[in-house]
């Protein structure tokens, strides 16, 4: 039985079922308050020459802020500010790639993403599309990228998505929300500077942290789990509990949440998310609801699937006086519901992880509709 399960849990992609993923880890990481100051030194040996710039994609909340002055610009490097108001889109990736190719004679020496999940996923996708032909939607899926990406660096400024360590770049495409899952997606370098998270909006802090919490709950109770992912997931969950239920100092809280996000992202190596992420993808796809809040909106109604997790979630929500918006789905048409349900149901590995191989006997469109209607 153990072996049977081990076989199935080996991988979270539909492709490799009887082998274990040879997981790409971020090969370089620096951690510490103020470690952002080392970025210039880190980039120096990666600079090819004068004409090959480093492109910094930066969350536009930092426009005009002190952080921008600390970006180690050299030669013809360029900063592009990115709005994180919406989920990252395939067209956005394609437009950025086109612009970079138009503006510079040479391919960049590197792409640096400074921001939350949106900016980090864009940075990963842009670095891939600079060396791989065609539109980014072509690469949404598993292991469709053929050529190594441009050297890319991830610098999170909010914690929880795990985007800094994962091998996916989740994009909204014309007909699906799906990640570019590939070994070339993973960042070549990550800078974990907890001080960059000072000043994050409280609601954002909660929603994004809950992204980590929820995905740990989903992966730890999933059928795909193995000991590798379990150990990372357990540590991430424990850190989330410390951050959201205990009374830590601001500094300790920032440091621990950054590590929670890191371990949570690592736990995905041999695990998979579940019901909340599947339903949240539907919400994002139809309504552009952002991933973090989308997960929260869905998760509160998933007591049937994750009783303990939902109880803890409610405790955290209460402790931090977070009120989730309601009535999001109240004016939707039948057609709208069908769209969300069909996006959610298309994420088969998530359902199989959450419920097991026979998930189709348990999960029906009607059941999902009832949940969406509550939101």
Paired sense of beta strands 189-192 and 110-115, if any? unpaired
Q: Which of 8, 23, 300, 317 forms a contact with a second copy (CB under 8 A)?
A: 23
Q: Does 127 bind a second copy (CB under 8 A)?
A: no
Query: Are the C-beta atoms of 264 and 161 separated by less than 8 Å?
Result: no
Q: Does 342 bind a second copy (CB under 8 A)?
A: no
Neighbours of 234 (CB within 10 A): 14
Nearest approach in angstroms of CB 93 to a second copy is 25
- The span from the CA of 188 to the CA of 185, in Å, is 9
| Span from 25-33, 47-55, 71-79, 141-149 in contact with a second copy (CB under 8 A) | 25-33
Binders of a second copy in range 69-88 (CB under 8 A) = none
Nearest approach in angstroms of CB 105 to a second copy is 30
Nearest approach in angstroms of CB 131 to a second copy is 18
- The span from the CA of 162 to the CA of 240, in Å, is 13
Q: Does 269 bind a second copy (CB under 8 A)?
A: yes
Q: Does 19 bind a second copy (CB under 8 A)?
A: yes
Q: What residues does 80 pair with on adjacent strands? A: 57
Nearest approach in angstroms of CB 183 to a second copy is 9
Q: What residues does 152 pair with on adjacent strands? A: 111
Q: At what angle do helices 348-355 and 275-287 cross, to 10 degrees?
A: 150
Phi, psi of 80 (to 5 degrees): -120, 120
Size of the site for a second copy (CB under 8 A): 43
Q: Does 153 bind a second copy (CB under 8 A)?
A: no
Q: Does 248 bind a second copy (CB under 8 A)?
A: no
Torsion of CA 31, 33, 34, 40, to 10 degrees: 10
Q: Does 256 bind a second copy (CB under 8 A)?
A: yes
Q: Does 322 bind a second copy (CB under 8 A)?
A: no
Q: What SS3 class is residue 93?
A: helix
Q: Does 326 bind a second copy (CB under 8 A)?
A: no
Q: What SS3 class is residue 61?
A: helix
Interface positions with a second copy (CB under 8 A): 2-3, 6, 10, 19-35, 38, 42, 189, 192, 194, 226-228, 231-232, 234-235, 239, 251-252, 255-256, 258-259, 263, 269-270
């Amino acid at each position: 039985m153990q072996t049977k399960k081990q076989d199935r849990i080996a991988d979270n992609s539909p492709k490799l079922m009887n082998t274990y993923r040879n997981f790409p880890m971020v090969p370089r990481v620096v951690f510490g308050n103020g470690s952002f100051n080392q970025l210039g030194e880190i980039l120096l040996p990666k600079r090819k020459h004068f004409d090959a710039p480093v492109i910094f994609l930066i969350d536009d909340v930092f426009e005009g802020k002190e952080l921008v002055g600390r970006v180690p610009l050299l030669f013809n490097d360029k900063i592009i500010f990115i709005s994180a108001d919406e989920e990252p889109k395939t067209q956005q990736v394609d437009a950025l790639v086109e612009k970079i190719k138009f503006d510079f004679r040479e391919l960049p020496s590197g792409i640096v993403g400074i921001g939350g999940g949106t900016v980090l996923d864009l940075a990963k996708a842009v670095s891939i599309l600079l060396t791989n032909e065609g539109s980014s939607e072509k690469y949404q899926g598993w292991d469709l990228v053929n050529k190594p990406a441009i050297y890319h660096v991830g610098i999170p400024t909010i914690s929880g998505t795990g985007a800094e360590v994962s091998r996916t770049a989740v994009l909204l495409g014309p007909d699906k929300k799906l990640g570019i899952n590939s070994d070339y997606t993973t960042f070549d370098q990550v800078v974990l500077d907890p001080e960059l998270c000072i000043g994050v909006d409280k609601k954002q802090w909660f929603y994004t942290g809950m992204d980590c919490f929820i995905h740990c709950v989903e992966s730890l109770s999933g059928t795909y789990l193995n000991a590798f992912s379990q150990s990372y997931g357990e540590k991430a969950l424990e850190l989330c509990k410390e951050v959201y239920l205990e009374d830590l100092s601001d500094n300790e809280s920032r440091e621990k949440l950054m590590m929670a996000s890191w371990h949570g992202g690592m736990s995905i190596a041999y695990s998979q998310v579940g019901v909340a992420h599947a339903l949240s993808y539907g919400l994002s796809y139809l309504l552009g609801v952002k991933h973090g809040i989308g997960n929260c909106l869905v998760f509160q109604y998933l007591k049937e699937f994750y009783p303990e997790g939902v109880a803890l979630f409610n405790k955290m929500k209460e402790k931090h006086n977070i009120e989730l918006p309601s009535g999001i789905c109240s004016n939707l048409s039948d057609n709208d519901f069908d769209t969300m349900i069909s996006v959610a149901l298309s994420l088969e590995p998530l359902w199989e992880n959450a419920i097991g191989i026979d998930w189709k006997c348990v999960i029906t469109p009607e059941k999902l509709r009832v949940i969406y209607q509550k939101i």
